[in-house]
Chains A and B, each alone.
Chain A
């Protein structure tokens, strides 16, 4: 006689039933973060996009008027300063990674091979990233001072007067000077990341290479660099994005001068938004939206290119 247990059905039911998620509790804990996210990130982004399609005609009161793509047309049409700012930001974005990352790799390798006073060097090389852009900007204004700055003073003292420059006061040297400063600031940060990546490599490879008599340059070329490609690619993208958005350092050191020689898109947006004797945020919003799209697309392209070679970890 088949005995049907009344419990078996329930057990079967519970065995295959999906556990219910406690959505209310989940929402309760997510609520503060979601409020902050929507209030401080999502809404400002949406509002900026909205503003970019509107204008505030001050002669007609404080009412917004929809102007479609007019702000964007002006941007591409007649704004020479925007074109200059774009050039400078792109130069900065593409040049900086090729300065910072190779230098960071060299420093990381120096520390990896346990030079004397390794800990002191690690602190010294990492310290610049701990300083704010404002502090760095003020200090380097003194360093680059034409009359009594450290650089010109040293050059004069060793008989290289011909090389002394008005570093921040000429259009040719102002931007390279700022790129030098950000290289100084961020090389240490990249160095720490690469050093961590180096230490995570299997030591057997290095030991085997040593046993085989490989020199250090050969190990760097054949073992370290290939194995660190993913980390390097990630740092490259981060460096690129960071330099495309740079504002603080330029504002403190040169405010975009002389003659727009260090004008970046970020400084130009601020000037158009708050120093243009208008409350209309339509045009600067258009600049901000366009630049966001540019950075996003370029980052995507770089990521895709690197991903094809399986270099990117995300």
Chain B
């Protein structure tokens, strides 16, 4: 019996060790060509011919790249273009791309970085992983790549303190969004709404057109918070930015400025007046982001859509896949101008889908070279042309089938100033949770009064101290 047990254990251990043993990688042995000392030449000797030495071939290397946008073919195509260009320049390098939905990608990256293995060398990055910067998982790109073809705003957008407290640049903004008010031109014309020459209504005018739209049985705004509370934040950003200006708005987002400040209260009262119309539809609490797009551009359910300029990523696809119809007349508006507002000439801009490099990557140099290829005007031009989404890279030409979109954008944004004031990149987590639940969802649903909402926001702000 004991002998039987012994042999069973021996077999099990042998199988275990054979499975665990990895083949040792064979390092190529490079034989150095024998060197010969040339004999002193004699006048009558033929010249000595030296055979050229063999150049060792580069080892194959695999670079791992994880990216969001698994369902956005136009963005994938641009990234693949950059990858193909890089691989042509580096024939020994294979870029292993994995396309994700970022909601799945960030937890996987978090686990991999925590474990210290299995993480990608280069990856998609946005505000969903700001703690990765604090953890020291991202390479500081400040002096790592040539930024000459990247916009200053894009560089500033990713300039933040690192784990040592010093400022660094942590990602390259391939996608740079501006927060817009899109409107249905045909619907406005049908309702007899004339858009001002500067595309900016005053606060009172904006209120009046929302009332007119509602009286016609149409929702003024297509926004809904069925899957993302963030969809309810836009009206706050727009009105508060116009009212307070960039510095004070950032101060409010950080929790430094009181929510009971008279200017803030005035802006919130204006927003409450819009809610009383109401500006949102009956499905505000349940409709999801993709449905909101279709509701706006296909079903003519709403006149305006408050959204980042990444609207085009979903809207500029085949209508059969949820894209807007070719006949849809899309327009831009500026934010409503608040009386005595300090930021009436501003719009929110923010770094969005970006690319970062892992600090711990064993192929960091190669990853930085791939990033450098992406941070080029050539790739920027292709991005804008193929996706119609703004980029943080300097561009020289914009063409293609979305030319009309950029002409419309340029027409509407003459002299427009921008503020890097997106709440998602600035607000502390506790305050952000309160803001999204109370103001983005609760107040528009009528679940809380404005006075109580301000009180609770102030409580959340004070709890930070």
Chain A residues lying within 8 Å of B445, measured Cβ to Cβ, are 166, 169-170, 258-259
A147 with B441: CB separation less than 8 A: no
Chain A residues lying within 8 Å of B20, measured Cβ to Cβ, are none
A150 close to chain B: CB less than 8 A? no
Cα-based distance from A259 to B134 in the complex (angstroms)? 30
How far in angstroms is the closest Cβ of chain B from A69? 20
Cα-based distance from A34 to B429 in the complex (angstroms)? 40
Chain B residues lying within 8 Å of A59, measured Cβ to Cβ, are 134, 165
How far in angstroms is the closest Cβ of chain B from A19? 12
B130 close to chain A: CB less than 8 A? yes
Chain B residues lying within 8 Å of A25, measured Cβ to Cβ, are 5
Chain B residues lying within 8 Å of A62, measured Cβ to Cβ, are 135-136
How far in angstroms is the closest Cβ of chain A from B171? 16
Q: Which of A24, A259, A277 contacts B429 (CB 8 A)?
A: A277
Query: Contacts A141-B286, A260-B437 given: A28-B8 contact, CB under 8 Å?
Result: yes
How far in angstroms is the closest Cβ of chain B from A294? 23
Query: Contacts A22-B5, A81-B433, A277-B429 given: A170-B135 contact, CB under 8 Å?
Result: no
Stretch at the interface among B36-44, B74-82, B277-285, B392-400: B277-285
Instruction: Give the interface size class of chain A.
Output: 20 to 34
A22 with B282: CB separation less than 8 A: no
Cα-based distance from A291 to B163 in the complex (angstroms)? 33
Chain A residues lying within 8 Å of B286, measured Cβ to Cβ, are 141, 144-146, 166, 168-169
B438 close to chain A: CB less than 8 A? yes
Cα-based distance from A296 to B410 in the complex (angstroms)? 63
Cα-based distance from A274 to B282 in the complex (angstroms)? 31
**Interface 1/0 per residue, B156-190 and A, CB below 8 Å:** 00000001010000000000000000000000000
A258 with B5: CB separation less than 8 A: no
Chain B residues lying within 8 Å of A169, measured Cβ to Cβ, are 284-286, 445
Cα-based distance from A255 to B165 in the complex (angstroms)? 34
Cα-based distance from A64 to B448 in the complex (angstroms)? 40
Cα-based distance from A146 to B445 in the complex (angstroms)? 13
How far in angstroms is the closest Cβ of chain A from B386? 32
Cα-based distance from A25 to B441 in the complex (angstroms)? 61
B107 close to chain A: CB less than 8 A? yes
A277 with B283: CB separation less than 8 A: no
Which residues from 279 to 305 on chain B have a C-beta closer than 8 Å to any C-beta of chain A? 281-286
Q: Which of B114, B163, B438 contacts A61 (CB 8 A)?
A: B163
Which residues from 39 to 87 on chain A have a C-beta closer than 8 Å to any C-beta of chain B? 58-59, 61-62, 78, 81
Per DSSP, are chain A's interface residues mostly helix, strand or loop, or mixed? loop
Query: Contacts A59-B165, A259-B438, A276-B429 given: A166-B282 contact, CB under 8 Å?
Result: yes
How far in angstroms is the closest Cβ of chain A from B29? 41
Cα-based distance from A255 to B285 in the complex (angstroms)? 12
**Interface 1/0 per residue, A77-101 and B, CB below 8 Å:** 0100100000000000000000000
Chain B residues lying within 8 Å of A171, measured Cβ to Cβ, are 447
B442 close to chain A: CB less than 8 A? yes
Q: Which residue of B lies closest to A275 (CB)?
A: B429
B283 with A147: CB separation less than 8 A: yes
Chain B residues lying within 8 Å of A260, measured Cβ to Cβ, are 437
B455 close to chain A: CB less than 8 A? no
B320 close to chain A: CB less than 8 A? no
Cα-based distance from A59 to B136 in the complex (angstroms)? 11
A258 with B441: CB separation less than 8 A: yes
Which residues from 448 to 465 on chain B have a C-beta closer than 8 Å to any C-beta of chain A? 448, 463
Cα-based distance from A58 to B130 in the complex (angstroms)? 11
A259 with B437: CB separation less than 8 A: yes
How far in angstroms is the closest Cβ of chain A from B287? 8
How far in angstroms is the closest Cβ of chain B from A260? 6
Chain A residues lying within 8 Å of B163, measured Cβ to Cβ, are 58, 61
Q: Which of A78, A170, A275, A279 contacts B463 (CB 8 A)?
A: A78
Chain A residues lying within 8 Å of B437, measured Cβ to Cβ, are 257-260
Cα-based distance from A169 to B463 in the complex (angstroms)? 28
B131 close to chain A: CB less than 8 A? yes
Which residues from 217 to 248 on chain B have a C-beta closer than 8 Å to any C-beta of chain A? 225-227, 229
**Interface 1/0 per residue, A10-33 and B, CB below 8 Å:** 000000000000101100100000
Q: Measuring CB to CB, which residues of chain B are less than 8 angstroms from any residue of chain A?
A: 1, 5, 8-9, 12, 107, 110, 114, 130-131, 134-136, 163, 165, 225-227, 229, 281-286, 429, 432-433, 437-438, 441-442, 445, 447-448, 463
Q: Measuring CB to CB, which residues of chain A are less than 8 angstroms from any residue of chain B?
A: 22, 24-25, 28, 58-59, 61-62, 78, 81, 141, 144-147, 166, 168-171, 255, 257-261, 271, 274-279
In the A-B complex, the 4 residue pairs with the smallest Cβ-Cβ separation, listed nearest first, are: A169-B285, A259-B442, A58-B134, A276-B429
Known A-B contacts: A78-B463, A259-B437, A279-B135. Give 14 more (CB < 8 A).
A58-B163, A61-B136, A81-B433, A146-B285, A166-B286, A166-B445, A168-B285, A169-B284, A257-B285, A258-B437, A259-B447, A261-B447, A274-B107, A277-B130
